[in-house]
Structure 1
Amino acid sequence: MIRTGEQFRDSLRDGREIWINGERVEDPSTHPQIKPAVDARAYIYDMQHDTKTKAAMTYEENGEDFAIGLRLPFEQQDWQDKRDAVDLITHNLGGVVTRVGDETIGEMWSLWDGKDILNEIDPRFAENIERHIHQAIKFDPFHVSANTDPKGDRSKAPQDQDPDMLVHVVKETDAGIVIRGAKFETAAAYSNQAFLKPTIANWGDSELSDYALGCIVKMDAPGIKHICRSGFAGASGACPRANQQDYPLANKFDEIDTLMILDDVLVPWEDVLFYQHTKAASFIRATLHRYSAFPYVQRTLSYADLIIGAALWNVKQTGLEKQQAVQEKLSELAVWREGINAFLTAAIATAETSPNGLAMPNQSLLFSGRVHALTNLPKMMHLARELCGGQICVTPDANTFAAADTKPWMDKFYSINEKWVADDRRKLLALARDLLNSDYAGHRLTFQLFAQSPPFAQLAAVYRNFDWDGPLDFAHKAAGLSDRMK
C-alpha cells in the first residue's frame, strides 16, 4: 500500500482550512511557501517506487511492499535498514528534512510499550494503539506529532486561566470525545494525521484530568484550523529565480510550522489512545522519545556532514586546507560528527528489548548522543563560519553575478583559477550562507535545539536512563566503604 508522491499530494486536497501570511490556502501542494516541503515528502514517497531506490526504501511482507521507516523494529538489522534509508533520502534530496513521518511513528511505539498500563485503564486503548500502528504501516500516511501547547501563564493551573491554552476534553459523546485547544506542530498543515499528546504533567496529584489526553487527529477533521508561520521560500529578494540561487536550502527544505487550532473537534473513540488517566500521560511523557530520538539524531548527523562539506570546500577553494590551524578546526568538526555516529552505532549494537518485545536502541547511549549532537551544534556552526570566512556575509546576489554591467567584475574578483570560477564560488558561498548565516539557518538552529524537548529535558532523559549503579559500586569498592552505604 505504499503511496506515490502524487497520491500524497491528492490527499492534501481535502478542503482543510489553512492560513499563511493572513491568507487562506486553497491547495497546500501548490502554495509557493508550502510546496517545497510537500515536494520533498512526495519525492520520498516516489523513492519507494523508483527501481533505483525501492530496495532500500521498502520491505516486502506477504506479497506487499511497505515503507521501511514505518516497520516495527524487532532486531538490530531493522534499525540499520532504517538508517540506510534516511542516508539515501538526505543524499538524494541534497539536504535535510526532519519531519517526514519515520521520526514520529516511534512515539506511538513508545505508547504501545505501555499497553499494560493502558489495559489497566481501559483495554480499548491498548487495542486502539496497536491498530493504529498497523494501519500506519498498511496505509502509509504522513504521520506527525502534535506536541507543544501555546503555554499561557504557566504559573497557573489550566483551569485558573483560559482553559483552551492546553488541549482538553470538553464533552463525551457516543461517537467519541470533543476536544478544544491548540498545538504547535511542524508539517501539520500538509500531513495526514497527528498523534496528539499532553505537553507537561499539569494535573498535580490528580489521578484523572481532562488534560491527560492522547489521540489520533485527522488533519482535515471539522473544527481544525492550520495557522502557519510565514515560510522562507521566496522570502528574500525581489526576483524568485535569484532568490532560489541565493538561498538554495531555504527554498527547498523549509518545513512549515503550524499553530493547529482545535475548535470543538470530534475524536472517534477508536482514535482515543488514552484519556483522563494521568498515569498513562506521565508514561508517554517519560518515554516519548525512546525510539524517535534515533532518526532525529541521525538527521543531525546528516546536518553535520553538510556543515563539514561546506566548510571544507570553502578552505579548499582558497588553498588553506594544508594549514595546521585550519586542520585543527576541521578535526573538531570531525570529532563532533564521529561522536554522533558512534552514539548511533553503539545504540543499535547494544539494543535492548522493550517491554513489548521491540528492539529498542540503548537508551543511555541514544539520549547521551542526542545531548552531544545538539549542545555542540551552535559551537560547530560558528566554527564552520570561521572556516568559511567573511565572504559568506558580503558576497552579492546571483543577479549581480549575471548582469551585463557587473558580471565582468564578479568574474574578475571571484575567480581564483581555471578550476574555481566565479559562478562555482558564488554557489558554494550561497550554500554556506544559507546553512550558517541566513534567517533559515537561525530558525533551524533553534528548531534543532528544542524540537525534541528543551536541553534540560534532554539531560533529564540521560539521568533517567544512565546506569548509576556501576560507578557507585566501583567507587564503593575503591574507597573500602562498609555495606551500610549500599
Structure 2
Amino acid sequence: MIRTGTEYRDSIRDGREVYVNGEKVRDVATHPMFKPLVDIRARIHDMAHDPATRDVMTVTQNGQTNAIGNALPYTQADWWAKRRATDTVLDAVGGIVTRVGDETVGEMWSLLDGAEALAAIDPQFAPNIKAHIAKVLQADPFHVSANTDPKGDRSKAPQDQDPDMLLHVVKETDAGIIVRGAKYETAAAYANQAFTKPTIANWGDAALSDYAVGFICDLGAPGLKFICRTGFATRAQAEDYPLSNRFDEVDTLVIFDNVLIPWENVLFYRHTQAAMHIRATLHRYSAFAFVQRSLKLADMLIGAALFNVRQTGLDKLQPVQEKLAQLAVWRESLNAHLTAAIVLGERSPAGLMMPNQSLLYAGRVLACGQLHEMMHIARDLCGGQISLTPDAASFRHPDTAPWLEKYYTINDEWGAEDRRKLLAFARDLLNSDYAGHRLSFQMFAQSPPFAHLSAVYRNFDWDGPLSLVKDAAGLSDRVLGAKTLTPGDSSLSKWFATETPKGKAAK
C-alpha cells in the first residue's frame, strides 16, 4: 500500500486552486517554489521501495507493509525505528524538512488516546478516529496539520467580530458539515490531507460552539483556496543560498469557502470540552519528531562553526573551544531528552508506547528556548565573512576571480571554492531570510512558547519533589492534603528503583 513518488505527484494534480507571488499555479508539482519540497516528499516515498533503504523506511505489521512514519508505536523498538528512519531521510536529502508527514500524523494517535473521553462527550464521532488512522496506514497520504487561524481582534470573542476569523461550522447537511474561515498550514498546497482542529481560542463559558470542530480535510476538496507566501526558492542563486533553494517549506493561508466535510471525516464537533482536551494532548507523540529535527539542526550549526574555526586554526583557542562546547551541550541535551523519552516511555490510554511526556516536553522547551542563542554563538564562530562574501558569479568572472582566489584560499586543504561554499552555507543557515523564517517558525510550529511551558507544567511529576521536602523538613502528611507520598516518587526515581533498562525495554 506504500505509494511511489510518482503516485504522490499525481495525487496533488487534482485541480486545486493555488496562488503564490501574484500568480495562479498551474501545476504545484513542478512550480519552482514548490518543486524542491515536492521532490523531497516524493523521494521519501521512493525510499520505501529502494532496496538500500526500504528496511529502514518500512515496517510490516499484520501482514501489511507500511511506512514507518505512519505506523503506530507499541514498543520502545518502534520509536528507535522511527528515529533511525527520520535520520536516514534527513541525511539523504542533506538538510532539514519539518513538514513531510511523519511529524504530524502523531496528532492522530493522540485522538486515539482520547477516543474514550471524546466518546463520553459525544459518541457519534469516535469510530471515525480509528477509521482514519487505518486509512493513513493503508493509503500512505502526505498528512499535515492545521492549527492557526487569522484570529482577528483577540480581545474579542469569535462571535463578537467577523465570524470567519476563526474556522467555524455554518451549516449541517445530510452529507456533512459546511465550514467557513481560514487556516495557516505549512505545506498544505502540496499535501493530501490535513488534521484540522481549533486554535487556542477563547470560547468563554460556552459548552457548545460552532468553532470547536476538528476534522480530516481532503486538500483537493472543492471550495478550498491556497494563498501562499512567496517562497525563498528561486529568489537568489542556489549556489549562494543552498538551503533556501532546497528546503523552504511554503506556508499557506487555506481559505475554506463553504467547504463540505463529510460526516465520516468529522472527529469532534461543537463540544468545547472536547476541543480543549485535544489541544492539551495534541503533541504527545509529534513533539518527538519536532525535537529530533532540532537535534539535526544543532549538528548543522556545530558542523558549520567547527569547519570555519578549523580553517584558520582558531579551534586551538580556549574561548573558541568554550563556545563550541556550549553548542555541544545544547546538542547533547536534546539527544538526552529524546533518548530518555524512549527509555522511560509510558503506556498511553490506547495502549500505545508514548514517549515520556515530562522529558519530551522539557526537551521541546530546551530546543526552542535556546535556539536563538545557539544560532548567535554559531554566527560568532563563523565570523563576519558570512555576511561579507561576494556571490558565486564573482568567483567565476575573469576580472574578479583571480583576486577572490587569492584572498579566499587559506591553504592546500582549503581552496577558494570550498571556502566560498562553506560561507554560503553558513550564511543561509544563520543570516538569510530563510534562516530568520526558520527561527520564527521553530518557536511557533507546535504552538507558542507559553503553551510549551504549560505542557511541561501539566506533565511534570510534582509529587516527587514535594515528598522529598516533606520528609527532609519533617512536615506532617496533612501538608499534602489527603495524598500521602513516598520519598523519591518521581518517574525517574521509580524507574531506577524498580526496573533495569533491559526489563523496561522488554515491557
TM-score, with length taken from structure 1: 0.98
1:393 pairs, out of 382, 387, 393, with 387
**Separation in 2, partners of 1:156, 1:6:** 47
Deviations 1:424-460 (A, max 9, x none): 0000000000000000000000001111111111011
In structure 2, what is the Cα distance between the partners aligned to 1:471 and 1:60?
43
Q: What is the rounded CA distance, in whole Å, between the counterparts of 2:270 and 2:3 in structure 1?
A: 35
The offset of 1:63, in angstroms, is 4.3
- How big is each residue's C-alpha offset from its partner over 1:58-94, in whole Å with a ceiling of 9 and x where there is no partner? 0123443210000100110000000000011111110
2:86 maps to which residue?
86
* 1:462 lines up with 2:456 in the alignment: yes
1:201–1:282 CA contact under 8 A, matched in 2: no
CA-CA distance at 1:482 after TM superposition: 2.3
Q: State whether structure 2 residue 128 is matched by structure 1 residue 128.
A: yes
Deviation of 1:96 (Å): 0.2
Determine the C-alpha separation between the residues in 2 that align with 1:291 and 1:249.
Answer: 28
Aligned match of 1:362 in 356, 369, 391?
356
Paired amino acid for 2:301: I
Check conservation: 1:352, 1:362, Cα contact below 8 A: yes
- Partner of 2:74, secondary structure, is coil
Return the alpha-carbon distance in structure 2 between the equivalents of residues 54 and 221 of structure 1: 32
Give, in whole Å, the separation in 1 of the partners of 2:144 and 2:306. 35
Q: 2:210 matched to 1:216?
A: no
Superposed displacement of residue 203, structure 1 = 1.7
1:434-453 matched pairs, under 5 angstroms: 434-453=428-447
Q: Distance in 1 between matches of 2:419 and 2:216?
A: 48
| TM-score, reference length from structure 2 | 0.94
Q: 2:498 is matched with which residue? A: none
Q: Corresponding residue for 2:408?
A: 414
Aligned position for 1:97 = 97
Supply the distance in 1 between the matched residues of 2:311 and 2:51 (Cα, whole angstroms).
37
Q: In 1, distance between residues paired with 2:123 and 2:52?
A: 44
CA distance in 2, matches of 1:61, 1:288: 25
2:194 aligned with 1:194, yes or no?
yes
1:33 counterpart residue number = 33
Q: Structure 1: which 5+ residue stretches go unaligned? A: 237-242
The amino acid that maps onto 1:95 is G
What's the secondary structure of 2:358's corresponding residue? helix
The corresponding residue for 1:164 is: 164
Alpha-carbon deviations, 1:32-55, whole Å to 9, x = none? 111111111111111111111111
Q: Of 333, 338, 341, which aligns to 1:344? A: 338
Superposed displacement of residue 473, structure 1: 1.2
Are positions 1:246 and 2:240 aligned together? Answer: yes
Q: Equivalent residue for 1:72?
A: 72
Q: Secondary structure, in 3 states, of the residue corresponding to 2:214?
A: strand
Matched position secondary structure for 2:279: helix
By how many angstroms is 1:318 displaced?
Answer: 1.3
State yes or no: 1:278 paired with 2:272.
yes
Q: Deviations over 1:106-152 (max 9, x none)?
A: 11111111111222234331110110001001110000001000010
3-state secondary structure, aligned to 1:400: coil
In structure 1, C-alpha distance between the alignment counterparts of 2:122 and 2:376, rounded to whole Å: 51
2:256 counterpart residue number: 262
Counterpart in the other structure of 1:3 = 3
RMSD: 0.9
In structure 2, stretches of 5+ residues that fail to align are 481-507
Offset of 1:307 from its aligned partner? 0.7
Instruction: Name the residue aligned to 2:488.
Output: none
Indicate whether 1:144 and 2:144 are aligned.
yes
Letter in 1 for 2:108: M
Within the alignment, does 1:324 sit opposite 2:318 as a pair? yes
| TM superposition shift of 1:204 | 1.6
Q: Report the Cα offset of residue 324 of structure 1.
A: 1.1
Separation of aligned partners in 1, 2:188 and 2:170: 23
Task: Give me the whole-angstrom Cα distance separating, in 2, the residues matched to 1:407 and 1:385.
Answer: 26
How far apart, CA to CA, are the structure 1 residues paired with 2:230 and 2:463? 49
Of 211-220 and 59-68, deviating more is 59-68
Q: Partner of 1:42 in structure 2?
A: 42
C-alpha displacement at 1:322, in angstroms?
1.5
Amino acid in structure 1 at the alignment position of 2:356: N
1:383 corresponds, among 367, 377, 386, to 377
* Counterpart-to-counterpart distance in 2, 1:483 and 1:138: 54
SS in 1 for 2:394: helix
Q: Deviations 1:378-434 (Å, cap 9, x if unpaired)? A: 000000001000000000000000111111111111001111100000000000000
State the 1:303 CA deviation.
0.6
Confirm or deny: 8 A CA contact 1:215 1:272 kept in the other structure.
Answer: yes
Which whole-Å CA distance do the structure 1 matches of 2:312 and 2:125 have between them? 61
Aligned-partner SS, 2:267? strand
SS of structure 1 residue aligned to 2:393: helix
Pick which of 161-170 and 202-211 moved more. 202-211
Partner of 1:306: 300
Q: What residue in structure 1 maps to residue 177 of structure 2?
A: 177
CA distance in 1, matches of 2:420, 2:201: 50
Tell me the residue number matched to 2:225: 225
SS at match of 2:24: strand
TM-superposed CA distance for 1:201, in Å, is: 3.8
**Seq. identity, %:** 67
Report what 2:499 is aligned to: none
